[in-house]
Structure 1
Amino acid sequence: MFSNPIWRTPMAIGLGAIVGAVSRYGVVTVCQSQWGLGFPWGTLIVNISGCYVMGFVVVFFLNEAIRIHPDLYVMITTGFLGSYTTFSSYELDTFLLWQNQNGQIALFYWVTSAALGIIGLRLGERTAQRFLPPDIPN
């Protein structure tokens, strides 16, 4: 079963995702206990550290400074970082567009993703409110 990439690759991603999600929870929880809930320090730290790790992994391993198995690569990038933060993938996509001489497209993607993310969040909030009993405040 583990010799077949049809099973092995999703398992690697899933294992990385478990570690990433638990790590995110840990960082956010520690930050909230240290600094309270007034500012999302935990999320900020997770997003910035995730971008740092994504940048390091992509450059270090794709330039073959050290050869790693493709399943280990996706375990780290798609699995761990994908559940730790999707912000790192978003920034990597923006960076790659920019690096490939697509500055206008990179800027459009960066701004549009952030703006549509906020709009999507607001639409989800409003949709959920429609299902709440009327006596629960919005």
Structure 2
Amino acid sequence: MRSLLFVFIGGGAGSVLRYLLSVGTQRFWMVKTFPLGTFLANIIGCFLIGVLVSALVKSDLHLRLLLITGFCGGFTTFSAFSVESVSLWQSGQFTVLAIYILLSVILGLAAVWLGQSIVKW
């Protein structure tokens, strides 16, 4: 039961931060065809999970549940990424869709690698 509480608290915090990031990017970036808030949450989340996985490998289980499973799980938005990708497809915005998918996957993988490399360094 205690483990669920850690996941719950971390997930709530991650979700709130993702929401604030999304609202913030909509205020400051006027391009409405590219889902920048979700994109940034995915890239930042990938970097953060790379750092945390490397830094907390042998750490306390509850800390891993709070930060990796909870916070990163709540903050990253792969389900939102998927539904936005389908929406871009359905609206015929194939170029934006291709750029969004390619950048999300390539930069996401690079961010995880960078996060792990920084911890190892």
Q: Same fold (TM over 0.5)?
A: yes
Q: How many residues align?
A: 83
- Point out where structure 2 has 5 or more consecutive residues left out of the alignment: 91-121
Q: Which amino acid aligns with 2:44?
A: S
CA RMSD of aligned residues (A): 2.2
Please state how far the C-alpha of 1:38 moved relative to its aligned partner.
2.8
Which runs of structure 1 show a deviation greater than 6 angstroms over 4 or more consecutive aligned residues?
A: none
Match of 1:41 among 27, 36, 39: 36
Q: Describe the SS at the equivalent of 2:33.
A: coil
Counterpart of 1:59 in structure 2 is: 54
Equivalences for 1:1-138 in 2 at 5 Å? 7-36=1-30, 37-62=32-57, 64=58, 68-87=59-78
Distance 1:46 1:73 in 2: 19
Distance 1:56 1:50 in 2: 10
Q: TM-score, normalised by structure 1?
A: 0.54
Identity %: 31
Judging by fraction of residues, say which structure has more helix: 2
Q: Which amino acid aligns with 1:80?
A: F
